[in-house]
Amino acid sequence: MKTRIVKRPQLSVGERIYFATVVKGLLLTIKHFFGVCRDLFDWKNKKTAITMQYPEERWDFKDNFRGAPALVMDQFGREKCVACQMCEFVCPPKAITIWPAEFATKDNNVEKFPDRFEIDMLRCIYCGFCEEACPEEAIFLVKEAELVHTDKKDFIHDKGKLYEMGGIREDRILKWQHK
């Protein structure tokens, strides 16, 4: 096989003394310096913005913030989860455990409900897969992100805690509503 010789590009005089490159680098450093100065001061409230006085001051999370997963009810206070276990199946660290139960009466449009529903927050990685997989829009990642407990057992969020965190979300479809 014939050897192919690649010619090195010839540098101009300016490129060889690196002057332009050094100036470019310095300008970039100056730009970042003023950027940091601007960010260190809260111009709106006229005070330094270096340290947040937590817990008196807290972050204002956006609505799409991925905090802890929680269960929600519809506007009629009805539990939306139908215990299909999709979220349990899809959860990468296996943080969700569901104990499904069947409704005794058949006049209900829903067959099952979660008798127990637990999420181990020491396993949860806040990935949001459960929210994406849920066919009933029953589980959401809420803004709650400060989970502090002194007992490991408290990190297991049971159904009561999950509904307390999730609250009510308006359901526009009302799939299981009697027509």
Work out which of 78, 128, 145, 155 binds ligand SF4, going by CB under 6 A. Answer: 128
Sign of the CA dihedral running 177, 118, 98, 104: negative
Q: Which residues contact 101 (CB under 8 A, 6 or more apart)?
A: 83, 112, 113, 114, 115
Q: Which stretch binds ligand SF4 (CB under 6 A): 45-53, 128-136, 151-159, 170-178?
A: 128-136
Work out which of 67, 73, 97, 133 binds ligand SF4, going by CB under 6 A. Answer: 133
> Does 119 help bind ligand SF4 (rule: CB under 6 A)?
yes
Using the minimum distance from each CB to ligand SF4, give the nearer residue, 11 or 125. 125
Using the minimum distance from each CB to ligand SF4, give the nearer residue, 27 or 78. 78
Work out which of 83, 142, 162, 165 binds ligand SF4, going by CB under 6 A. Answer: 83
Cβ density class 114-137: b for 16+ within 10 Å, e for less: beebbbbbeebeebebbbebbebb
**Judging by beta carbons within 10 Å of its beta carbon (0-12, 13-18, 19+), is residue 40 exposed, middle or buried?**
exposed
Q: Which stretch binds ligand SF4 (CB under 6 A): 13-21, 42-50, 81-89, 164-172?
A: 81-89
| Gap between the Cα atoms of 49 and 66, Å rounded | 25
> Does 142 help bind ligand SF4 (rule: CB under 6 A)?
no
Contact positions with ligand SF4 (CB under 6 A) in 1-60:
none
> For binding to ligand SF4 (CB under 6 A), which residues are involved?
69, 81-87, 91-93, 95-96, 98, 119, 124-130, 133-134, 136, 138-139
